[in-house]
Amino acid sequence: MSRWLPRTYLTLVYLLLYVPIAVLVVFSFNDSRTGYEWGGLSLRWYEALFNNRAMVQAMWNSLWLALSAATVSTLIGALTALALHRYRFRGKQVLNGMLFIVMMSPEIVLAISLLGLFLMVGLQLGYVSLLLAHVTFCLPFVVITVMARLSGFDERLPEAARDLGASDFTMTRTVLIPVIMPALLAGWLLGFTLSLDDVVVSTFVSGPSYEILPLRIYSMVRVGLKPEVNALGTLLLVFSLVMLMLSQWILLRSKR
């Protein structure tokens, strides 16, 4: 009993987690218009999806936003992690604490505070405001990922490089960056996914000039059922699954 009871329980919870996803995937191939009954296999919702110009535009917008937000946050996040790891400076604890608070605080609190800022400085809501916001909430996750990698590596490596005549900058470029490369990639993928997934912050800081995918989905699913969303959800699922496997593979490979 002590062996099969936990296993049955684990299986049951996993089932609950995956049934809705499975339903979504299955129904994305459903030919029926009502969305509840099975009407045979079909790719019509995928077709409808790609024929919807606004939808395709939102997809590209989202993709571009996620790419740029992930890249910027990885750059700044990596530098922050390096600074936190290597330098002693006043206010280090405060910096750490601020990053932690950004990570823990409810997204909606971040969202309204950024909205307030953008309106006050008169920034047009659109791509730039979205980018700034997304980078801000991705930042702590990148920092943590890189810090974890840095804390696991030999303190003497940078010292050895300096001892052999490398300047601090050269050492960072030739020793530290290669060491944290896997963490950079993993952090980038995490940032990319977080950005692509975000609804709460984007709702506040996006404007009509730049419509992104989650908001488009949001407006579609608030009322009734839209079979195209099944198809879109399936695509997103496959996409994030590939991204996740990629990042796990990178992390696992680097541990060897």
Partner 1 sequence: MGNTLQQPFRTAVLVLVWGWLLLLVFTPNLLVVGASVMTRDPSTFISLPMNLDAYRQLLNPLYLDVFLHSLYMAAMTTLICLVIGYPFAWSLSKVARKNRLLLIFLLIVPFWTNSLVRTYALKLILATNGLLNNALMAMGIIDEPMQMLYTEGAVIIGLVYLLLPFMILPLYTVFEDLREDFLRASHDLGAGRWSTFIHVIVPLTLPGVLAGVMLVLLPAMGLFFVPDVLGGSRNLLVGNVIKNQFLDARNWPFGAAASIMLTLAMAFLMFAHRLSKRRIGEDGV
- Asked if 120 interacts with partner 1 (CB under 8 A), we say yes
- Asked if 250 interacts with partner 1 (CB under 8 A), we say no
Residues whose CB falls within 8 Å of the CB of residue 194, separated by 6 or more in sequence, listed in order: 134, 137, 138, 141
Burial code (b: 16+ CB inside 10 Å, e: under 16) for 21-33 equals eeebbebbbbeee
Nearer to partner 1, 18 or 60 (CB): 18
- Asked if 79 interacts with partner 1 (CB under 8 A), we say yes
**Residue 89: C-alpha distances to residues 45, 82, 83, 84, 207 (Å):** 56, 12, 9, 9, 39
* Residue among 48, 115, 148, 179 that touches partner 1 (CB under 8 A): 115
- Asked if 17 interacts with partner 1 (CB under 8 A), we say yes
Residues 155-194 that bind partner 1 (CB under 8 A): 162, 165-172, 193
Residues 18-47 that bind partner 1 (CB under 8 A): 18-21, 23-24, 27, 34-36
Distance CA 196, CA 66 (A): 6
Residues 224-243 that bind partner 1 (CB under 8 A): 225, 229-230, 232-233, 236-237, 240-241, 243
* Residue among 55, 65, 138, 139 that touches partner 1 (CB under 8 A): 139
Nearer to partner 1, 74 or 193 (CB): 193
* Residue among 1, 87, 93, 253 that touches partner 1 (CB under 8 A): 87
**Residue 129, both tokens:** 């405001």
The per-residue DSSP string of 182-228 comes to: HHHHHHHHHHHHHHHH--HHHHHH--TTS--HHHHHHHHHSSS--HH
- Asked if 1 interacts with partner 1 (CB under 8 A), we say no
